Chain A
Amino acid sequence: MRSQVYAWNGNSFLGNAAGAVAASFVPAQSGVQTSIFIGGFGNNITKPAETTATEFVVIEDVACTPSLPAGGATTAGVAGGIAATLPGQLNTWTLDPAGAPALASRGVIGPRAYLQVRINTTDYFLNPDNVTNDGIPGTGSPYPRSLDFQPSFNLYPDVYVLPGQVWDVRYTSYAPAPNWGKTGNGLLNGADHNAFCKYTLYDGPDALIANKLLEMGISINPGNVDWYKRSLLSAQGM
């Protein structure tokens, strides 16, 4: 078993995904769920994330860029306008006056980003009316974490990806204009379109044990897998 992470940045200077647009995570992606693995923006991987017959994945955390509620106007630093941010408060994000770029969201500083987990064709996060939603808000599960943005959310119980399943982590933003264009030439400042996924990969015999624990109704984590191994050994008189 191995602890794994996947970090995604929507700005194409970090990678060369097939079909990546020069302007990186473009405004046209507003409100569109984009796979952080094969979505065609930012750093991508070669094929959809999936488990083989001898693998078991437990997703333990997902997080993305947070946002900060602000004033309703489009001009910063004026009466009734957007408050000027301070260091750490996403202060490299600015919303242009008069809606330029046209799709800049008003009333929020940051990308208004959400992250959904999809197993095969089923979305994990739903609204109380059982309708699929955008997923976990980055404001509730921020990446990167800081004093200004701490998690309100802990992914517990974990999400299990059983052997043979395809899984995806999908990013949605409602202010997709890249801020780095305004703050200077592609500097990664921690306030861009970021997403993060922490998972544990169980393979080989560990995956078999993970399946067994699932049957037994026991949470799958490294401690319980080790416990099961120990109990097998002690049953053999070792």
Chain B
Amino acid sequence: MRSQVYEWANLAPGGAGSTLSRSANDQVVQVPANVATDIFIGGLGNNITKPAETTATQFIVIEDISCTPWIAGAVQVRINTTDYFQNPDVTQMNGVPGLASPYPRGSPSSLNPAAANSAYTPDNLLKSFDLYPDVYVLPGQVFQILYTTPQGTGVTATGFTVMCFVKYTLYDGPDALIANKLLELGVTINPNNVDWYKRSLIEQQTRSAVAATAAAAGGQA
């Protein structure tokens, strides 16, 4: 099991499209208003080579999502075709607002580029939101992290940089099997509980071995 992160920003060379590798010549790419942009393969900013998905021997637990607080940005988790965050009336929403889960943590809540002396707001946002319980991505599922702003970021020269951040733990191989087992048992999947399950398996094996030895000794007597 490994702790992993993914950071997205609407930055790409020339201020257009997407890039698989960051560079020092990156510029702001326009993010359209009211469009849910997949931070993995959305075609804007830094992207990866294929949709984020788990193989048959992987299990992912998403533990934190956050985004830049300004221009009312929000971040949503989608598993296969199902959005995780919903309105109370079970309608679609943009997800967790960056004001509630800011990235960077401690970020100013806004910046005002229209003023002659544009400046960040002199405040430090703390998180109002904690992704608990975590979001599970089961083996074979596709997941997306979607960034939406109702305002749009503007074009390269006058636009904003926005970022998203995802923290997740990847369980692979035997750890993924244990994660599935814990899910069946209704136990929260985290590194501690996976270790606990491993220990209980080892203890069981030890007890069985001791019992077998004792039984064999009794048979000889």
Contacts and interface: CB of A to CB of B under 8 A. Distances in A.
Nearest to A101: B24
Of the candidates B5, B195, B198, the one having the most CB atoms from chain A within 10 angstroms of its own CB is B5
Interface residues of B, number: 68
Interface in B103-145: 103-108, 111-120, 122, 124, 126, 143
A79 B191 contact: no
A22 B106 CA distance: 35
B175 to A, nearest CB: 10
Contacts of B202: 216-217
Interface string A78-103: 11111111100100000000000001
B24 A71 contact: no
A70 B191 CA distance: 36
A83 B161 CA distance: 11
B59 interface: no
Interface in B1-52: 1-7, 9, 11, 15, 21-28, 40, 48-50, 52
B83 interface: no
B7 A137 contact: yes
Interface in A136-190: 136-137, 139-140, 142, 146-157, 174-176
A219 to B, nearest CB: 6
Contact of A176 (B24, B48, B50, B107): B24
A153 B165 CA distance: 10
A217 B199 contact: yes
Contacts of A197: none
Interface string B150-168: 0000111111111101010
B52 to A, nearest CB: 3
B91 interface: no
A53 interface: no
Contact of B195 (A71, A129, A154, A217): A217
A132 B170 CA distance: 14
A156 B155 CA distance: 38
A133 B165 CA distance: 14
Given A70-B111, A105-B24, A127-B6, A80 B161 contact: no
A68 interface: yes
Interface string B51-94: 01100000010001010100000000000000000000000000
Contacts of B199: 216-218
B161 A108 contact: yes
Given A70-B111, A125-B5, A149-B105, 9 more contacts: A71-B161, A72-B27, A72-B156, A80-B113, A82-B118, A84-B120, A107-B26, A129-B49, A218-B195
9 contacts: A66-B104, A73-B157, A80-B157, A83-B112, A83-B120, A89-B108, A125-B4, A127-B48, A217-B195
